[in-house]
Structure 1
Protein backbone atom coordinates (compact mmCIF):
# COMPACT_ATOMS: atom_id res chain seq x y z
CA UNK A 1 0.00 0.00 0.00
CA UNK A 2 1.18 3.53 -0.84
CA UNK A 3 -0.09 6.62 0.99
CA UNK A 4 -0.75 9.85 -0.91
CA UNK A 5 -1.38 13.21 0.72
CA UNK A 6 -4.08 15.32 -0.90
CA UNK A 7 -6.20 18.38 -0.28
CA UNK A 8 -9.80 19.01 -1.25
CA UNK A 9 -10.90 22.33 -2.77
CA UNK A 10 -13.83 23.58 -4.80
CA UNK A 11 -14.68 26.42 -7.14
CA UNK A 12 -18.36 27.31 -6.54
CA UNK A 13 -19.15 23.67 -5.77
CA UNK A 14 -17.07 22.06 -8.55
CA UNK A 15 -14.84 20.03 -6.22
CA UNK A 16 -11.58 18.19 -6.83
CA UNK A 17 -9.02 16.08 -5.07
CA UNK A 18 -5.70 17.89 -5.53
CA UNK A 19 -2.31 16.19 -5.21
CA UNK A 20 0.91 18.21 -5.24
CA UNK A 21 3.21 15.91 -7.21
CA UNK A 22 6.08 18.33 -7.73
CA UNK A 23 8.43 16.36 -5.54
CA UNK A 24 7.03 12.84 -5.52
CA UNK A 25 5.30 10.40 -7.84
CA UNK A 26 1.58 10.57 -8.50
CA UNK A 27 -0.86 7.67 -8.05
CA UNK A 28 -2.12 5.39 -10.86
CA UNK A 29 -5.04 7.63 -11.80
CA UNK A 30 -7.04 5.16 -13.87
CA UNK A 31 -6.95 2.71 -10.97
CA UNK A 32 -7.98 5.13 -8.23
CA UNK A 33 -10.21 7.71 -9.96
CA UNK A 34 -13.53 5.87 -9.67
CA UNK A 35 -12.84 4.79 -6.08
CA UNK A 36 -11.52 8.08 -4.74
CA UNK A 37 -14.13 10.20 -6.54
CA UNK A 38 -17.06 8.05 -5.39
CA UNK A 39 -19.21 10.21 -3.09
CA UNK A 40 -20.58 7.26 -1.14
CA UNK A 41 -17.55 4.97 -0.81
CA UNK A 42 -14.60 7.26 -1.43
CA UNK A 43 -13.38 10.80 -0.81
CA UNK A 44 -15.93 12.22 -3.23
CA UNK A 45 -15.19 14.72 -5.99
CA UNK A 46 -15.73 15.70 -9.61
CA UNK A 47 -12.22 14.53 -10.48
CA UNK A 48 -8.53 14.46 -9.55
CA UNK A 49 -6.06 17.29 -10.22
CA UNK A 50 -2.29 16.81 -10.24
CA UNK A 51 0.06 19.75 -9.65
CA UNK A 52 3.38 19.20 -11.39
CA UNK A 53 6.65 21.01 -12.03
CA UNK A 54 6.76 23.14 -15.19
CA UNK A 55 9.61 24.70 -17.11
CA UNK A 56 7.22 27.18 -18.74
CA UNK A 57 4.90 28.30 -15.92
CA UNK A 58 4.59 28.50 -12.14
CA UNK A 59 3.22 24.94 -12.17
CA UNK A 60 1.68 22.43 -14.56
CA UNK A 61 -1.83 21.01 -14.15
CA UNK A 62 -3.17 17.63 -15.25
CA UNK A 63 -6.82 16.92 -14.57
CA UNK A 64 -8.75 13.66 -14.66
CA UNK A 65 -12.48 12.94 -14.74
CA UNK A 66 -14.25 10.52 -12.42
CA UNK A 67 -14.01 7.80 -15.08
CA UNK A 68 -10.22 8.14 -15.23
CA UNK A 69 -10.11 9.91 -18.61
CA UNK A 70 -7.90 12.97 -18.85
CA UNK A 71 -9.51 16.38 -19.32
CA UNK A 72 -7.80 19.34 -20.97
CA UNK A 73 -8.63 22.25 -18.69
CA UNK A 74 -10.94 23.46 -15.91
CA UNK A 75 -11.47 27.05 -14.86
CA UNK A 76 -12.55 26.14 -11.34
CA UNK A 77 -9.50 23.92 -10.77
CA UNK A 78 -7.21 26.63 -12.14
CA UNK A 79 -8.55 29.15 -9.63
CA UNK A 80 -8.13 26.63 -6.81
CA UNK A 81 -4.49 26.03 -7.73
CA UNK A 82 -3.92 29.78 -7.71
CA UNK A 83 -5.27 30.00 -4.16
CA UNK A 84 -3.22 26.98 -3.08
CA UNK A 85 -0.01 28.55 -4.35
CA UNK A 86 -0.89 31.87 -2.72
CA UNK A 87 -1.71 30.19 0.61
CA UNK A 88 1.76 28.61 0.53
CA UNK A 89 3.35 32.03 -0.08
CA UNK A 90 4.66 30.92 -3.46
CA UNK A 91 3.35 34.02 -5.27
CA UNK A 92 5.32 37.22 -4.75
CA UNK A 93 2.72 39.55 -6.25
CA UNK A 94 -0.43 37.41 -6.38
CA UNK A 95 -0.03 36.53 -10.05
CA UNK A 96 0.63 33.04 -11.41
CA UNK A 97 0.77 30.96 -14.59
CA UNK A 98 -0.39 27.36 -15.05
CA UNK A 99 0.59 25.07 -17.89
CA UNK A 100 -2.28 22.96 -19.25
CA UNK A 101 -2.42 20.52 -22.17
CA UNK A 102 -3.50 23.26 -24.58
CA UNK A 103 -2.10 26.56 -23.29
CA UNK A 104 -0.46 28.60 -20.54
CA UNK A 105 -3.11 30.20 -18.34
CA UNK A 106 -2.45 33.48 -16.51
CA UNK A 107 -4.18 34.27 -13.23
CA UNK A 108 -4.19 36.66 -10.29
CA UNK A 109 -5.52 36.69 -6.73
CA UNK A 110 -8.21 39.38 -6.51
CA UNK A 111 -9.11 39.00 -2.84
CA UNK A 112 -7.22 36.84 -0.38
CA UNK A 113 -9.09 34.90 2.30
CA UNK A 114 -8.23 32.17 4.79
CA UNK A 115 -10.65 29.55 3.49
CA UNK A 116 -12.02 31.31 0.41
CA UNK A 117 -10.28 33.64 -2.04
CA UNK A 118 -11.49 35.42 -5.18
CA UNK A 119 -9.34 34.52 -8.16
CA UNK A 120 -9.35 35.61 -11.79
CA UNK A 121 -7.92 33.53 -14.63
CA UNK A 122 -7.51 34.34 -18.31
CA UNK A 123 -9.10 31.37 -20.09
CA UNK A 124 -7.81 32.42 -23.51
CA UNK A 125 -9.55 33.00 -26.81
CA UNK A 126 -12.55 30.88 -27.79
CA UNK A 127 -11.83 28.63 -30.78
CA UNK A 128 -14.57 28.23 -33.38
CA UNK A 129 -12.73 26.20 -36.03
CA UNK A 130 -14.55 22.83 -36.16
CA UNK A 131 -11.32 20.90 -36.78
CA UNK A 132 -9.71 22.35 -33.67
CA UNK A 133 -12.65 21.72 -31.31
CA UNK A 134 -13.04 19.00 -32.75
CA UNK A 135 -16.49 18.57 -34.28
CA UNK A 136 -17.09 16.55 -37.43
CA UNK A 137 -19.36 17.29 -40.39
CA UNK A 138 -18.67 21.04 -40.57
CA UNK A 139 -16.15 23.25 -42.37
CA UNK A 140 -17.42 26.57 -41.00
CA UNK A 141 -18.03 27.59 -37.36
CA UNK A 142 -21.03 25.87 -35.81
CA UNK A 143 -23.28 28.67 -34.55
CA UNK A 144 -26.95 27.94 -33.90
CA UNK A 145 -26.99 24.95 -36.23
CA UNK A 146 -29.65 22.25 -36.00
CA UNK A 147 -28.67 19.17 -33.98
CA UNK A 148 -30.98 16.18 -34.36
CA UNK A 149 -30.97 13.95 -31.28
CA UNK A 150 -33.69 11.59 -32.51
CA UNK A 151 -36.76 11.71 -34.73
CA UNK A 152 -38.69 13.67 -32.10
CA UNK A 153 -35.99 15.93 -30.67
CA UNK A 154 -33.73 18.57 -32.16
CA UNK A 155 -31.89 21.62 -30.82
CA UNK A 156 -30.01 24.62 -32.12
CA UNK A 157 -26.44 24.10 -30.97
CA UNK A 158 -23.14 25.96 -31.11
CA UNK A 159 -19.67 24.43 -30.77
CA UNK A 160 -16.59 26.09 -29.28
CA UNK A 161 -13.34 25.13 -27.59
CA UNK A 162 -12.03 26.81 -24.47
CA UNK A 163 -9.07 24.44 -24.39
CA UNK A 164 -11.63 21.62 -24.31
CA UNK A 165 -14.69 20.94 -26.51
CA UNK A 166 -18.09 22.40 -25.68
CA UNK A 167 -21.54 22.15 -27.23
CA UNK A 168 -23.85 24.98 -26.09
CA UNK A 169 -27.64 24.88 -26.35
CA UNK A 170 -30.12 27.57 -25.29
CA UNK A 171 -33.29 26.32 -23.58
CA UNK A 172 -36.36 28.07 -22.19
CA UNK A 173 -36.45 26.48 -18.72
CA UNK A 174 -33.03 25.19 -17.74
CA UNK A 175 -34.00 24.32 -14.15
CA UNK A 176 -36.48 21.69 -15.34
CA UNK A 177 -34.59 20.59 -18.42
CA UNK A 178 -33.57 16.85 -18.50
CA UNK A 179 -29.82 17.51 -18.52
CA UNK A 180 -28.90 13.93 -17.61
CA UNK A 181 -30.80 12.51 -20.55
CA UNK A 182 -29.65 14.84 -23.30
CA UNK A 183 -26.23 15.64 -21.84
CA UNK A 184 -25.16 12.02 -22.08
CA UNK A 185 -26.60 11.56 -25.58
CA UNK A 186 -24.88 14.64 -26.98
CA UNK A 187 -21.58 13.99 -25.16
CA UNK A 188 -21.26 10.64 -26.91
CA UNK A 189 -22.60 11.70 -30.32
CA UNK A 190 -20.50 10.63 -33.33
CA UNK A 191 -20.35 14.35 -34.19
CA UNK A 192 -17.77 14.76 -31.40
CA UNK A 193 -14.80 12.42 -32.00
CA UNK A 194 -13.30 13.25 -28.57
CA UNK A 195 -16.72 13.50 -26.88
CA UNK A 196 -17.80 16.90 -25.59
CA UNK A 197 -18.99 18.92 -22.62
CA UNK A 198 -22.58 20.10 -23.02
CA UNK A 199 -23.92 23.39 -21.67
CA UNK A 200 -27.62 24.21 -21.39
CA UNK A 201 -28.13 27.95 -20.94
CA UNK A 202 -31.08 30.20 -20.23
CA UNK A 203 -30.70 33.93 -20.68
CA UNK A 204 -32.35 36.01 -17.93
CA UNK A 205 -31.35 39.46 -19.17
CA UNK A 206 -28.40 41.20 -20.83
CA UNK A 207 -26.21 40.69 -17.75
CA UNK A 208 -27.34 37.34 -16.31
CA UNK A 209 -27.51 33.77 -17.51
CA UNK A 210 -28.40 30.47 -15.79
CA UNK A 211 -26.29 27.52 -16.88
CA UNK A 212 -26.18 23.77 -16.27
CA UNK A 213 -23.28 21.74 -17.63
CA UNK A 214 -22.93 18.06 -18.40
CA UNK A 215 -19.18 17.45 -18.18
CA UNK A 216 -17.47 14.96 -20.43
CA UNK A 217 -16.50 11.92 -18.36
CA UNK A 218 -18.14 13.16 -15.14
CA UNK A 219 -21.79 13.99 -15.78
CA UNK A 220 -23.56 17.08 -14.46
CA UNK A 221 -21.52 19.04 -11.94
CA UNK A 222 -22.29 21.92 -9.61
CA UNK A 223 -20.28 24.25 -11.83
CA UNK A 224 -18.01 24.22 -14.87
CA UNK A 225 -15.63 27.12 -15.42
CA UNK A 226 -14.74 26.38 -19.03
CA UNK A 227 -18.42 25.64 -19.68
CA UNK A 228 -19.33 29.09 -18.38
CA UNK A 229 -16.74 30.60 -20.74
CA UNK A 230 -18.16 28.59 -23.65
CA UNK A 231 -21.72 29.75 -22.92
CA UNK A 232 -20.56 33.36 -22.53
CA UNK A 233 -18.57 33.18 -25.77
CA UNK A 234 -21.56 31.69 -27.60
CA UNK A 235 -24.00 34.30 -26.28
CA UNK A 236 -21.55 37.07 -27.19
CA UNK A 237 -21.03 35.65 -30.68
CA UNK A 238 -24.75 35.37 -31.39
CA UNK A 239 -25.51 38.85 -30.05
CA UNK A 240 -22.31 40.61 -31.21
CA UNK A 241 -21.72 41.78 -27.64
CA UNK A 242 -18.63 42.20 -25.46
CA UNK A 243 -20.51 43.17 -22.30
CA UNK A 244 -19.58 41.42 -19.02
CA UNK A 245 -22.01 38.81 -17.73
CA UNK A 246 -22.76 36.90 -14.55
CA UNK A 247 -23.18 33.17 -15.10
CA UNK A 248 -25.30 31.50 -12.41
CA UNK A 249 -24.58 27.79 -11.91
CA UNK A 250 -25.84 25.34 -9.31
CA UNK A 251 -22.88 25.97 -7.04
CA UNK A 252 -22.58 29.74 -7.38
CA UNK A 253 -21.86 32.62 -9.74
CA UNK A 254 -18.94 33.45 -12.02
CA UNK A 255 -18.22 36.83 -13.58
CA UNK A 256 -17.16 36.66 -17.23
CA UNK A 257 -15.69 39.45 -19.33
CA UNK A 258 -13.49 40.02 -22.35
CA UNK A 259 -9.94 41.26 -21.94
CA UNK A 260 -9.50 44.76 -23.36
CA UNK A 261 -6.09 43.65 -24.62
CA UNK A 262 -6.97 40.78 -26.95
CA UNK A 263 -10.62 39.71 -26.38
CA UNK A 264 -9.61 36.63 -24.43
CA UNK A 265 -12.08 35.62 -21.72
CA UNK A 266 -11.47 36.53 -18.07
CA UNK A 267 -13.20 34.36 -15.49
CA UNK A 268 -13.53 35.59 -11.90
CA UNK A 269 -14.89 33.58 -8.99
CA UNK A 270 -14.26 31.97 -5.64
CA UNK A 271 -11.80 29.21 -4.76
CA UNK A 272 -12.41 27.46 -1.45
CA UNK A 273 -10.26 25.16 0.68
CA UNK A 274 -12.17 22.22 2.22
CA UNK A 275 -9.75 19.85 3.99
CA UNK A 276 -6.44 17.97 3.91
CA UNK A 277 -6.26 14.19 3.91
CA UNK A 278 -4.44 11.08 2.80
CA UNK A 279 -5.50 8.08 0.73
CA UNK A 280 -3.88 4.81 -0.16
CA UNK A 281 -3.64 2.60 -3.21
Structure 2
Protein backbone atom coordinates (compact mmCIF):
# COMPACT_ATOMS: atom_id res chain seq x y z
CA UNK A 1 0.00 0.00 0.00
CA UNK A 2 1.48 3.32 -1.11
CA UNK A 3 1.96 6.30 1.14
CA UNK A 4 -0.92 8.78 1.12
CA UNK A 5 -3.31 6.03 0.02
CA UNK A 6 -6.97 6.64 0.79
CA UNK A 7 -10.28 4.84 0.52
CA UNK A 8 -13.61 6.62 0.29
CA UNK A 9 -16.70 4.69 1.40
CA UNK A 10 -20.23 5.45 2.50
CA UNK A 11 -22.78 4.16 4.95
CA UNK A 12 -26.22 5.08 3.60
CA UNK A 13 -24.82 8.17 1.87
CA UNK A 14 -22.77 9.31 4.87
CA UNK A 15 -19.29 9.23 3.29
CA UNK A 16 -15.85 9.13 4.88
CA UNK A 17 -12.26 9.05 3.70
CA UNK A 18 -10.10 6.43 5.47
CA UNK A 19 -6.32 6.73 5.83
CA UNK A 20 -3.55 5.04 7.80
CA UNK A 21 -1.67 7.53 10.00
CA UNK A 22 1.53 5.51 9.52
CA UNK A 23 1.35 5.99 5.76
CA UNK A 24 0.83 9.71 5.26
CA UNK A 25 3.36 12.48 4.66
CA UNK A 26 1.41 15.30 6.30
CA UNK A 27 -0.21 16.25 9.61
CA UNK A 28 -3.97 16.17 10.16
CA UNK A 29 -4.21 19.83 11.10
CA UNK A 30 -7.51 21.70 11.09
CA UNK A 31 -6.58 23.40 7.82
CA UNK A 32 -5.55 20.13 6.15
CA UNK A 33 -8.69 18.31 7.28
CA UNK A 34 -10.85 21.10 5.86
CA UNK A 35 -8.95 20.99 2.56
CA UNK A 36 -9.20 17.21 2.11
CA UNK A 37 -12.93 17.22 2.93
CA UNK A 38 -13.68 20.12 0.60
CA UNK A 39 -15.67 18.88 -2.39
CA UNK A 40 -14.11 21.46 -4.73
CA UNK A 41 -10.47 21.68 -3.61
CA UNK A 42 -9.99 18.27 -2.00
CA UNK A 43 -11.52 14.81 -2.25
CA UNK A 44 -14.79 15.81 -0.61
CA UNK A 45 -16.36 13.93 2.30
CA UNK A 46 -18.34 14.09 5.53
CA UNK A 47 -15.12 13.44 7.45
CA UNK A 48 -11.85 11.52 7.71
CA UNK A 49 -11.23 8.27 9.58
CA UNK A 50 -7.61 7.81 10.63
CA UNK A 51 -6.12 4.50 11.74
CA UNK A 52 -3.88 5.04 14.78
CA UNK A 53 -2.21 2.87 17.41
CA UNK A 54 -4.09 1.83 20.54
CA UNK A 55 -3.15 0.01 23.72
CA UNK A 56 -6.83 -0.46 24.62
CA UNK A 57 -8.17 -2.27 21.55
CA UNK A 58 -7.16 -4.09 18.37
CA UNK A 59 -7.23 -0.81 16.43
CA UNK A 60 -7.33 2.89 17.21
CA UNK A 61 -9.50 5.40 15.35
CA UNK A 62 -9.57 9.19 15.09
CA UNK A 63 -12.78 10.66 13.63
CA UNK A 64 -12.20 14.06 12.03
CA UNK A 65 -15.09 16.35 11.07
CA UNK A 66 -15.06 18.49 7.89
CA UNK A 67 -14.65 21.65 9.98
CA UNK A 68 -11.42 20.27 11.46
CA UNK A 69 -12.84 19.28 14.84
CA UNK A 70 -12.64 15.75 16.24
CA UNK A 71 -15.65 13.56 17.04
CA UNK A 72 -15.87 11.05 19.85
CA UNK A 73 -17.82 8.42 17.93
CA UNK A 74 -19.59 7.80 14.62
CA UNK A 75 -21.72 4.76 13.87
CA UNK A 76 -21.41 5.00 10.10
CA UNK A 77 -17.75 5.90 10.50
CA UNK A 78 -17.13 2.82 12.65
CA UNK A 79 -18.75 0.54 10.09
CA UNK A 80 -16.79 2.15 7.25
CA UNK A 81 -13.57 1.86 9.27
CA UNK A 82 -14.29 -1.80 10.07
CA UNK A 83 -14.84 -2.51 6.38
CA UNK A 84 -11.50 -0.85 5.55
CA UNK A 85 -9.65 -2.95 8.13
CA UNK A 86 -11.18 -6.18 6.86
CA UNK A 87 -11.04 -5.44 3.13
CA UNK A 88 -7.43 -4.24 3.12
CA UNK A 89 -5.99 -7.05 5.21
CA UNK A 90 -5.37 -5.32 8.52
CA UNK A 91 -7.23 -8.26 10.06
CA UNK A 92 -8.62 -11.60 8.92
CA UNK A 93 -10.92 -11.79 11.93
CA UNK A 94 -14.60 -11.05 11.45
CA UNK A 95 -14.84 -9.57 14.96
CA UNK A 96 -12.48 -7.02 16.51
CA UNK A 97 -12.34 -4.02 18.85
CA UNK A 98 -11.88 -0.35 17.95
CA UNK A 99 -10.73 2.39 20.31
CA UNK A 100 -12.42 5.80 19.87
CA UNK A 101 -12.52 8.98 21.95
CA UNK A 102 -16.01 7.84 22.95
CA UNK A 103 -14.78 4.47 24.22
CA UNK A 104 -13.87 1.01 22.93
CA UNK A 105 -16.47 -0.64 20.71
CA UNK A 106 -16.82 -4.09 19.14
CA UNK A 107 -17.34 -4.50 15.40
CA UNK A 108 -18.36 -7.65 13.53
CA UNK A 109 -18.55 -8.41 9.81
CA UNK A 110 -21.98 -10.01 9.40
CA UNK A 111 -22.16 -10.37 5.62
CA UNK A 112 -19.50 -10.51 2.92
CA UNK A 113 -19.67 -10.08 -0.86
CA UNK A 114 -16.75 -11.11 -3.08
CA UNK A 115 -14.54 -11.41 0.03
CA UNK A 116 -15.35 -7.82 0.99
CA UNK A 117 -17.33 -6.71 4.03
CA UNK A 118 -20.86 -5.58 3.19
CA UNK A 119 -22.95 -5.67 6.36
CA UNK A 120 -21.38 -4.79 9.72
CA UNK A 121 -22.70 -4.78 13.27
CA UNK A 122 -21.24 -2.34 15.76
CA UNK A 123 -21.64 -2.33 19.53
CA UNK A 124 -22.16 1.39 20.19
CA UNK A 125 -21.82 1.13 23.98
CA UNK A 126 -24.30 2.34 26.56
CA UNK A 127 -26.63 5.31 26.29
CA UNK A 128 -26.11 7.89 29.04
CA UNK A 129 -29.01 10.13 30.00
CA UNK A 130 -27.60 12.12 32.97
CA UNK A 131 -27.60 15.78 31.95
CA UNK A 132 -24.12 16.57 33.25
CA UNK A 133 -22.63 13.60 31.43
CA UNK A 134 -24.21 14.31 28.01
CA UNK A 135 -23.33 17.21 28.65
CA UNK A 136 -26.29 19.60 28.62
CA UNK A 137 -27.04 22.50 30.94
CA UNK A 138 -30.41 21.48 32.32
CA UNK A 139 -32.10 21.76 35.70
CA UNK A 140 -33.45 18.25 35.10
CA UNK A 141 -31.26 15.30 36.17
CA UNK A 142 -32.11 13.75 32.80
CA UNK A 143 -32.82 16.17 29.96
CA UNK A 144 -36.16 14.76 28.76
CA UNK A 145 -38.83 17.14 27.45
CA UNK A 146 -36.77 20.13 28.53
CA UNK A 147 -37.42 23.46 26.82
CA UNK A 148 -34.89 24.93 24.38
CA UNK A 149 -35.65 28.49 23.30
CA UNK A 150 -34.24 29.86 20.06
CA UNK A 151 -34.79 33.34 18.63
CA UNK A 152 -37.82 32.37 16.56
CA UNK A 153 -39.02 29.04 17.92
CA UNK A 154 -38.93 26.79 20.97
CA UNK A 155 -38.47 23.02 21.09
CA UNK A 156 -38.94 20.30 23.68
CA UNK A 157 -35.63 18.46 23.63
CA UNK A 158 -34.40 15.05 24.77
CA UNK A 159 -30.65 14.65 25.26
CA UNK A 160 -28.47 11.56 25.43
CA UNK A 161 -24.84 10.58 24.96
CA UNK A 162 -23.83 7.49 23.02
CA UNK A 163 -20.16 8.40 23.28
CA UNK A 164 -20.99 11.78 21.74
CA UNK A 165 -23.81 14.21 22.60
CA UNK A 166 -27.24 14.22 20.91
CA UNK A 167 -30.38 16.34 21.04
CA UNK A 168 -33.58 14.62 19.84
CA UNK A 169 -36.70 16.62 18.97
CA UNK A 170 -39.96 14.71 18.47
CA UNK A 171 -41.98 15.98 15.52
CA UNK A 172 -45.40 15.25 14.00
CA UNK A 173 -43.98 16.03 10.56
CA UNK A 174 -40.41 16.11 9.30
CA UNK A 175 -39.43 19.10 7.16
CA UNK A 176 -35.89 19.28 5.78
CA UNK A 177 -36.00 23.08 5.51
CA UNK A 178 -36.76 23.31 9.24
CA UNK A 179 -33.71 21.35 10.40
CA UNK A 180 -31.60 23.18 7.81
CA UNK A 181 -32.78 26.48 9.31
CA UNK A 182 -32.46 25.63 13.00
CA UNK A 183 -29.90 22.80 13.11
CA UNK A 184 -26.89 25.08 13.48
CA UNK A 185 -28.62 27.20 16.13
CA UNK A 186 -29.36 24.11 18.19
CA UNK A 187 -25.88 22.64 17.66
CA UNK A 188 -24.18 25.81 18.90
CA UNK A 189 -26.65 26.79 21.64
CA UNK A 190 -25.01 27.75 24.99
CA UNK A 191 -27.03 24.97 26.62
CA UNK A 192 -24.57 22.49 25.08
CA UNK A 193 -20.97 22.98 26.33
CA UNK A 194 -19.47 20.69 23.65
CA UNK A 195 -21.99 21.59 20.94
CA UNK A 196 -24.39 18.80 19.98
CA UNK A 197 -25.73 16.57 17.21
CA UNK A 198 -29.37 17.23 16.35
CA UNK A 199 -32.13 14.88 15.22
CA UNK A 200 -35.76 15.58 14.35
CA UNK A 201 -37.67 12.31 14.83
CA UNK A 202 -41.13 11.02 13.88
CA UNK A 203 -42.48 7.73 15.24
CA UNK A 204 -44.14 5.74 12.44
CA UNK A 205 -44.79 2.57 14.42
CA UNK A 206 -43.38 0.72 17.47
CA UNK A 207 -40.78 -0.75 15.09
CA UNK A 208 -40.01 2.22 12.83
CA UNK A 209 -38.83 5.80 13.37
CA UNK A 210 -37.98 8.35 10.67
CA UNK A 211 -35.32 10.97 11.37
CA UNK A 212 -33.59 14.00 9.90
CA UNK A 213 -30.05 14.75 11.02
CA UNK A 214 -27.91 17.82 11.63
CA UNK A 215 -24.44 16.54 12.53
CA UNK A 216 -22.12 18.48 14.79
CA UNK A 217 -19.21 19.79 12.75
CA UNK A 218 -20.67 18.56 9.46
CA UNK A 219 -24.20 19.96 9.13
CA UNK A 220 -27.03 18.35 7.15
CA UNK A 221 -26.29 14.64 6.79
CA UNK A 222 -28.10 11.89 4.88
CA UNK A 223 -27.47 9.30 7.57
CA UNK A 224 -25.69 8.83 10.90
CA UNK A 225 -25.15 5.72 12.99
CA UNK A 226 -24.60 7.52 16.28
CA UNK A 227 -27.65 9.71 15.62
CA UNK A 228 -29.72 6.59 14.94
CA UNK A 229 -28.43 5.05 18.17
CA UNK A 230 -29.29 8.18 20.13
CA UNK A 231 -32.81 8.37 18.73
CA UNK A 232 -33.39 4.66 19.39
CA UNK A 233 -32.31 5.12 23.01
CA UNK A 234 -34.63 8.11 23.49
CA UNK A 235 -37.57 6.29 21.86
CA UNK A 236 -37.15 3.31 24.18
CA UNK A 237 -36.55 5.55 27.20
CA UNK A 238 -39.84 7.36 26.53
CA UNK A 239 -41.70 4.09 25.87
CA UNK A 240 -42.55 5.01 22.27
CA UNK A 241 -41.05 1.99 20.50
CA UNK A 242 -39.88 -1.56 20.95
CA UNK A 243 -36.27 -2.29 21.86
CA UNK A 244 -35.61 -3.64 18.35
CA UNK A 245 -36.43 -1.06 15.71
CA UNK A 246 -35.53 0.38 12.33
CA UNK A 247 -34.30 3.94 11.89
CA UNK A 248 -35.15 5.39 8.47
CA UNK A 249 -33.11 8.33 7.17
CA UNK A 250 -32.87 10.03 3.75
CA UNK A 251 -29.81 7.86 3.04
CA UNK A 252 -31.41 4.54 4.04
CA UNK A 253 -32.18 2.34 7.03
CA UNK A 254 -30.31 0.94 10.03
CA UNK A 255 -31.34 -1.81 12.44
CA UNK A 256 -30.98 -0.93 16.14
CA UNK A 257 -31.24 -2.96 19.32
CA UNK A 258 -31.40 -1.35 22.77
CA UNK A 259 -30.75 -3.73 25.67
CA UNK A 260 -32.35 -3.31 29.13
CA UNK A 261 -28.98 -2.02 30.40
CA UNK A 262 -29.03 0.56 27.56
CA UNK A 263 -26.30 -1.10 25.52
CA UNK A 264 -26.92 -0.33 21.84
CA UNK A 265 -26.11 -2.45 18.79
CA UNK A 266 -26.40 -1.23 15.22
CA UNK A 267 -26.38 -3.18 11.94
CA UNK A 268 -26.13 -1.76 8.43
CA UNK A 269 -24.47 -1.90 5.03
CA UNK A 270 -21.33 -0.08 3.92
CA UNK A 271 -20.07 0.36 0.37
CA UNK A 272 -16.73 1.51 -1.04
CA UNK A 273 -16.86 4.40 -3.49
CA UNK A 274 -13.24 4.68 -4.64
CA UNK A 275 -9.61 4.38 -3.61
CA UNK A 276 -6.48 6.19 -4.70
CA UNK A 277 -3.38 8.17 -3.80
CA UNK A 278 -3.28 11.88 -3.05
CA UNK A 279 -1.68 13.81 -5.90
CA UNK A 280 1.70 15.52 -5.53
CA UNK A 281 0.00 18.87 -6.08
CA UNK A 282 -2.50 18.33 -3.25
CA UNK A 283 0.30 17.00 -1.03
CA UNK A 284 2.33 20.15 -1.62
CA UNK A 285 -0.56 22.16 -0.15
CA UNK A 286 -0.97 19.77 2.78
CA UNK A 287 2.73 19.71 3.61
CA UNK A 288 3.07 23.46 3.10
Q: Is the shorter-chain TM-score for this pair beyond 0.5, marking a shared fold?
A: yes
Query: How far, CA to CA, are the matches of 2:100 and 2:28 in structure 1?
Result: 19
Note the 1:199-214 alignment, pairs <5 A: 199-214=199-214
RMSD: 1.8
**CA contact under 8 A between 1:116 and 1:273: conserved in structure 2?**
no
Please give the secondary structure, in 2, of the residue aligned with 1:33: helix
Give the alignment's TM-score, normalised by structure 2.
Answer: 0.90
- Residue equivalent to 1:120: 121
Note the 1:129-278 alignment, pairs <5 A: 129-150=130-151, 152-239=152-239, 242-259=242-259, 262-278=261-277
Give the alignment's TM-score, normalised by structure 1.
Answer: 0.92
Kindly tell me the number of residue pairs found equivalent between the two proteins: 277
Query: How far, CA to CA, are the matches of 2:123 and 2:23 in structure 1?
Result: 27
Shift of 1:128: 0.8
Unaligned runs of 5+ in 1: none
Unaligned runs of 5+ in 2: none
**CA contact under 8 A between 1:19 and 1:26: conserved in structure 2?**
no
Shift of 1:170: 1.0
Shift of 1:202: 1.1
**CA contact under 8 A between 1:4 and 1:27: conserved in structure 2?**
no
**CA contact under 8 A between 1:5 and 1:278: conserved in structure 2?**
yes
Please give the secondary structure, in 1, of the residue aligned with 2:49: strand
**CA contact under 8 A between 2:86 and 2:93: conserved in structure 1?**
no
Deviations along 1:70-111, one digit per CA (max 9) or x if unpaired, are 111100010111111221344444001100012100011110
**CA contact under 8 A between 1:74 and 1:224: conserved in structure 2?**
yes
**CA contact under 8 A between 1:245 and 1:257: conserved in structure 2?**
yes
Shift of 1:119: 0.2
